[in-house]
Amino acid sequence: MPTLEMVGHVYEEAKKLMEEREQDYNDSWLQEGLTSMVGSQFKKASQIKTMFENGRWKGNITRFKEDILDQINYCVFMYKLVEMDESKTH
């Protein structure tokens, strides 16, 4: 079972990746909206699944791990978009 320290390490890696990409993409996730984020999440998950099934993830572990971190960040964006929508209705 993962420890809080292990989870924290992964979150830190996801945050670092988000900060690196934010320089290029800024807040494009806000413009895309929730529907697009859900689609992006599905697409990324499908790519991860395919890389895993065909074994190509072993040849590019760095990219595979980055794709997993992207999944975490997409979840953060979706969570924030839901919160923003929720605050509009209250």
Q: What is the pLDDT of residues 37-76, one digit of tens each?
A: 899 999 999 999 999 999 999 999 999 999 999 999 999 9
Q: What is the pLDDT of residues 9-36, one digit of tens each?
A: 999 999 999 999 988 888 888 888 899 9
Predicted structure pTM score: 0.85
CB-CB contact of 37 with 77 (8 Å): yes
Domain edges within the chain: 4-89
The Cα–Cα gap between 42 and 46 comes to: 6
